[in-house]
Chains A and B, each alone.
Chain A
Amino acid sequence: MTDVRSPLPTRLVAAAGQWLPPLIVAAGFLGLWSLLTLTVYKGKGFLVPAPQDVAAAFAENFGVIALASLTTLREAAFGYLIAIVLGILIAAVLSQSRILERSFYPYAVLLQTVPVVAIAPLIVLWFGYNDLSVIIISLIISLFPIINNTLLGLQSTPRSLVELFAMHRTNRLATFWKLRAPNALPSIMAGLKISAGLSVIGAIVGEFIIGSGGTQGGLGVQIIFAQGRMYTSLLFAEVICATLLGFLFFLIVTLISNALLGHWHESAS
């Protein structure tokens, strides 16, 4: 097949146009940060460490950070995956009956409005100072956006399509799989993207509460440690790692979403 794409220089310019603006923002941010540490926060590295100090702390404590990241990753991934399965299942059940939805949906909202930080100690009280509690806290915080978006997607099937399926006497199950579920997919993916970052936040909050529990612990535990030791450059490095974890989840979901929706839905790009 012949190459019908634009000539290489044009594509390079297009790529530069896409990547350059965020890179400039990153450079500007790093520059401003450095400037601040050289002026306002000069000699106050315990408040705002210089970028190179953060990098040094990261290199120095790489083993600890890597292990902690893996622990947090595992807990958040479990919480997230269970939230996906449970959230979609709950939404699918609620979508089948107005009465069911009207009965239970307010409590799903309540689940979201209860500050997770406030119930986290309760979860730990019930399930112990262990990974399980962290996973459950991550699950609770990730669950609602998935339920909400899936339900919204399942209920926003165009009327004409519902009528079309009714016209040909399609039963409930076939209508669900051939119509409602695929129609809800973009909405489900939007929910998964929101929850991707939340699941990591939930895991970190959980780790704050359970503390080390005698083990090495995840990033949340390490952040508390670093704070206690006034080791601010390490704290910064760990916060950055936690952020990247959430971003990693988001990236994976976005890739899956694009693969599933790319050929037919405008949300994929």
Chain B
Amino acid sequence: MNTAATLPDTEKAAASSPSRGGGVPIDLQDVWKAFDTGVRALDVVNLKIAGGEFVSIVGPSGCGKSTLLRIVAGLLAPSGGACVRATNAKAAFVFQDAALLPWRSVLRNAELLMELEGYAAPDRRQRAEKAMQLVGLSGFAAAYPHQLSGGMRMRLSLARAMALQPDLLLLDEPLAAVDELTRDTLQEELQQLWRKLNFTALLVTHNVHEAVYLSTRIAVMSPRPGRIEKVIDVPFAFPRAPDLRSTAEFAALTGEVSAILRHHAGGGQA
């Protein structure tokens, strides 16, 4: 188990000012990763993310995109290179499986991260209630996770992260396990949260539509050992309406991203 102690932070990143609100900039410099088993999970990656950006990483399964996310999170140490971000930046991680504590009520789950970070109890309660309101879970404070639908579990997971008021939100395929209708709704809600709360977001996904709908930029990765093949700007203005998804420009851009993926993955999933 790796801890955040391995993260080679520097002070100079803290000095550079974020472009929007509380979002923190990230600078990945020649980061690569090989596991103890000798498997090269990640080829050399360079990526600069401005504060307040929403960047998606798309790539085929096993390309190392989750590894990259864990390096940014400080959960894994890179074998070489550095992930530079402000030391005092608050980061929150959202997992695909929602990662809730089944023995805790919804409210107590929403308080968890603040509890781990040592916030005082009254402050915790107040922030948790506010965050639950933000994602539409106010009426469910006393419920338990097993009583929630997949979409609501993910909302709770987002509320738990939002309660921390993070500068950086790391999302590891958070919507991969929910049904399509719920996924669209949650994408819209995630976008609203990001616009309202000014954090930098880094999303790992294999869903090209999701990446295009949510991101300011998309980093497309090659198969393992992954490297960033291309970074694509997403030109659509915010707020993005739900029906942006059915426009020709949207289709053109998803087509472009998919084509790059297909080209490098040799006809794999897109």
Contacts and interface: CB of A to CB of B under 8 A. Distances in A.
Contacts, number: 56
B102 interface: yes
B101 A179 contact: yes
B144 interface: yes
A39 interface: no
Say what secondary structure dominates the interface of chain A.
Answer: helix
Interface string A154-182: 00001011111111111000100011001
Interface stretch (A115-123, A219-227, A260-268): A260-268
A165 B93 CA distance: 10
Contact of B144 (A178, A185, A263): A263
A80 B96 CA distance: 41
A120 to B, nearest CB: 40
Given A168-B113, A264-B144, A264-B146, A163 B103 contact: no
Interface string A181-192: 010010000000
Nearest to A261: B103
A264 B97 CA distance: 17
A160 B144 contact: no
A161 B75 contact: no
A174 B118 CA distance: 11
Given A162-B1, A264-B144, A168 B75 contact: no
Contacts of B103: 182, 185, 264-265
A97 to B, nearest CB: 12
Interface string B64-95: 00000010011100000000000000011101
A160 to B, nearest CB: 4
B243 interface: no
B241 interface: no
A264 B102 contact: yes
A182 B145 CA distance: 15
A202 B13 CA distance: 66
Interface residues of B, number: 25
Which interface residue of B95, B116, B144 has the most chain A CB atoms within 10 A? Answer: B116
B117 interface: yes
Contact of A167 (B75, B96, B101): B75
Contacts of A174: 116
B144 A170 contact: no
A22 B119 CA distance: 54
A164 B75 CA distance: 9
A223 to B, nearest CB: 43
Nearest to B91: A167
Contacts of B73: 163, 167
B246 interface: no
A166 B2 contact: yes
Contacts of A264: 102-103, 144-146
Contact of B93 (A164, A178, A179): A164
Nearest to A182: B103
Contacts of B115: 178
Interface string A123-163: 00000000000000000000000000000000000101111
A164 B99 contact: yes
Contacts of A263: 144
Interface in A220-269: 263-266
B3 interface: yes
Contacts of A160: 95-97, 99
Contacts of A178: 101, 115-116
Contacts of A163: 70, 73, 75, 93, 95, 99
Contacts of B1: 162, 166
Interface string B110-153: 00010111000000000000000000000000001110000000
Nearest to B99: A160
Given A164-B95, A169-B4, 18 more contacts: A158-B97, A158-B99, A160-B99, A163-B93, A164-B99, A164-B113, A165-B116, A166-B3, A167-B75, A167-B92, A169-B3, A169-B116, A170-B116, A174-B116, A178-B115, A182-B103, A185-B103, A263-B144
13 contacts: A161-B99, A163-B93, A164-B93, A166-B3, A167-B75, A168-B113, A169-B4, A170-B116, A178-B115, A185-B103, A264-B144, A264-B146, A266-B146
> Which 4 interchain pairs have the tightest Cβ spacing?
A168-B116, A160-B99, A160-B95, A264-B103
